[in-house]
Amino acid sequence: MMRFLVIEGNIGAGKTTLSKMLAKEYNAKLILEQFADNPFLPKFYDNQERYSFPLELSFLADRYNQIKHELLNLDLFHSFLVADYYFAKSSIFAQNTLKDDEYHLFRQIFDMVFDSVPKPDLYVYLHANTNQLLRNIEKRGRSYEQNIQPGYLEKIQNGYFTFFKQNLTFPILVIDTTGIDFVNNYQHYRLIKEAVFNSDYKLGINRLILK
């Protein structure tokens, strides 16, 4: 029985859009990352070296508090919970933005709370190539994202896959969505739905290429 579903992906992968679509269709409680309210994010994209540590700490606290609160308060009116991020995202991004000494301190704080965070029944990662991510980022038009470089997206992607290889506590479904348009093509959306809800997956990494 699905109780907690995570939809993740790199910047511009479409994780929030897919989370909203699934939540609406299946009457799931929706958790969206509140990044737009973070005062450090625009500053970070202008000056990563100065603002990376306060940004990552603030995300760490926000993600922990939101996930714990929402899962503890899952009501009878929703069939399950779907989130467009998971708590481990904090460590993945921090590893690529913080200096070594800052990341060491950050990781100590992260490790103290990670085991107490509920684990998803299924973690779905939408994988798209860098060119597609950049097109999606440009299309949605957030001004503070327009200077994101391909190398940064590749580092984030590598961080996700390093995390996947180290995790055996819940099933991870990596779906290759390069060339897939699940927003405007219902057949593509249906294929993703069937992959998420109609299959059982082993703990650790499971891979799927949609055709």
Residue-level pLDDT at 144: 67
Q: State how far the Cα of 6 lies from the Cα of 15, in Å rounded to an integer.
A: 9
57-78 tens-digit pLDDT = 988 988 888 888 877 676 667 7
**CATH code, 94:** 3.40.50.300
Give the pLDDT band of residue 47 (cuts 50, 70, 90).
Answer: confident
**Is position 84 annotated as part of the catalytic site?**
yes
Q: Which domain holds residue 79?
A: 4-209
Catalytic residue among 37, 62, 75, 84: 84
Take residue 121 and report the two structure tokens written for it. Answer: 């029944």
Domain count, the chain: 1
Q: Find the radius of gyration of the CA atoms of the chain.
A: 17
Of 5, 17, 15, 24, the C-alpha closest to 183 is 17
DSSP, collapsed to helix, strand or coil, labels residue 117 as: coil
Q: State how far the Cα of 107 lies from the Cα of 101, in Å rounded to an integer.
A: 10
